[in-house]
Amino acid sequence: MIRTILAIVFVRIFSSLSAQIVFSEIHFNPCTAQGSDNACEFVEIFNGYNSAVDLTGWTTSGIDFVFPAVTLGPGEFYVIARGNSNCVDYDLSSFPTFTGNLVNSGETISLIDDCLNVITSVTYDNVDSWPQGDADMDGNDTNGGDANGECESLHLLSLADDAAPQNWGDGPEGSPPSPGSNAALSIGMMTFEACLLPVTLTNFIGKAHAQEGIWLSWATSSEVNIANFDLEHADDGTTFHTIASFFPRGSNHEGAQYNHVHKDPFPLLNYYRLKIVDHDGLVTFGPVVAVSDKIQSPQLRYTFPTVTNGNLRIRGVDQVQKIRIMSSDGLLVHDSASMTQVDISHLPIGHYLIHIQLQDSILVERFFKN
């Protein structure tokens, strides 16, 4: 299994049968009377553990959301919405918003913790195995309506397994959605245990030195079950090969510092990353760093501002031939001819490297898109 991440972690998938933090309400297809389909969609999450759960840095898949600094107490709900809309029958204006949308024909949505463990996953649908107008599943839906476009939402009825269709109802019958509440659920007996990071990189740095090559260093805060580190190099940011290997020197409670000098870098730009191999054969990649073999004055900056959500300006350099922007995991996200201003408003939030190619050198600088 291979992943590219900043904090190096194992990937585990937990069964929904044991999950006590669950999806508890899904409104995937609001009716026309409630407002816009997309704007009035929402997902509700319930903490059924008898302890608080720190959701900071958790994410969802199916819909895209990164949890801010938030702790969910026992029995509390957390709602994320498609839009900040005051929909008919319910109000979403105070809830944080996700990107993407809930597919009306059904899809899989997952809750993923900060160690990339899949905590719970639900594949809802609009077929017969899911509630179709009988919220209490008694065979009698006197008020009509269902969760697929007829004003009701999917409500979880039991913590036993939020992935099982039989544990969901559409309703309460004839009642509007109720983001932030679910009378059918209560706190269980389990205590939540936060994940541990087997390996955490605290930094990974590359710097050019005259007559010596490129100095590389990295540090960890803890190391568990690690067989070796491979330092890899590429000239294109894609095709890497190993230039040095290291046995781990850290432990469960202590990290270590590692250093290496690459004496034969390529001209202009070089890319480096760490390959971490554990004793179980799991391979994990750290972030990619780009280093120019040209020494640049640390007092000079050529891109402004260093934190922006709109345009990045380039000044103080002549004969710019090309501008490339790389994401923190080494992906090329922008490639253009010379310009003095680059629109980055479409890029996701995160750290980036901008490569300003001149006639005989490349300037590499970091910026943050907020």
Residue for token digits 């250093």?
Answer: 259
Same-domain pairing of 111 and 192: yes
Query: What is the domain range of residue 251?
Result: 199-292
Same-domain pairing of 42 and 68: yes
3-state helix, strand, coil in the chain (%, to 5): 0, 40, 55
Are residues 155 and 170 in contact, defined by beta-carbon separation less than 8 angstroms?
yes
Distances (CA, A) of 182 to 112, 192, 234, 260, 311: 22, 21, 53, 56, 45
Identify residue 246 by its one-letter amino acid code.
Answer: F
* Predicted pLDDT of residue 174: 62
Q: Is 151 helix (H, G, I), strand (E, B) or coil?
A: coil
Triad 7, 11, 13: Cα angle to 5°: 140
Among candidate residues 197, 215, 247, the one where a domain is terminated: 197
Q: Which backbone phi and psi does 34 adopt, to 5 degrees?
A: -85, -20
Same-domain pairing of 27 and 154: yes
Residue for token digits 């397994």?
Answer: 161
Residue 338 is part of a domain; what is its CATH number? Answer: 2.60.40.3080
Polymer length of the chain: 370
| CA-closest candidate to residue 261, choices 223, 229, 214 | 214
Torsion sign across C-alpha atoms 176, 177, 178, 183:
positive
Same-domain pairing of 193 and 213: no
* Predicted pLDDT of residue 315: 66
Among candidate residues 168, 197, 226, the one where a domain is terminated: 197
Same-domain pairing of 157 and 257: no
| CA-closest candidate to residue 296, choices 217, 364, 216, 201 | 364
Same-domain pairing of 137 and 281: no
Tell me the C-alpha distance between 27 and 35, whole Å.
Answer: 13
Neighbours of 211 (CB within 10 A): 5
Most confident of 77-81, 138-142, 348-352, 355-359: 77-81
User: In this predicted model, what pLDDT tens digit does every residue of 189-233 receive, in sequence order?
Assistant: 888 887 655 667 788 888 888 778 889 998 888 887 888 999 999
* Predicted pLDDT of residue 299: 37
Residue with more model confidence, 233 or 279: 233
Same-domain pairing of 269 and 141: no
* Predicted pLDDT of residue 149: 75
Residue 131 is part of a domain; what is its CATH number? Answer: 2.60.40.1260
What pTM was estimated for this model as a whole?
A: 0.55
How many structural domains compose the chain? 3
Tell me the C-alpha distance between 43 and 81, whole Å.
Answer: 6
Reading phi first (left if > 0) and then psi (alpha if -120 to 50, else beta), residue 239 is in beta
Are residues 62 and 26 in contact, defined by beta-carbon separation less than 8 angstroms?
no
* Predicted pLDDT of residue 356: 76
Same-domain pairing of 40 and 110: yes
User: In this predicted model, what pLDDT tens digit does every residue of 101-116 receive, in sequence order?
Assistant: 899 888 999 998 877 7
Q: Side-chain half-sphere of 150: how many Cα atoms within 13 Å?
A: 18
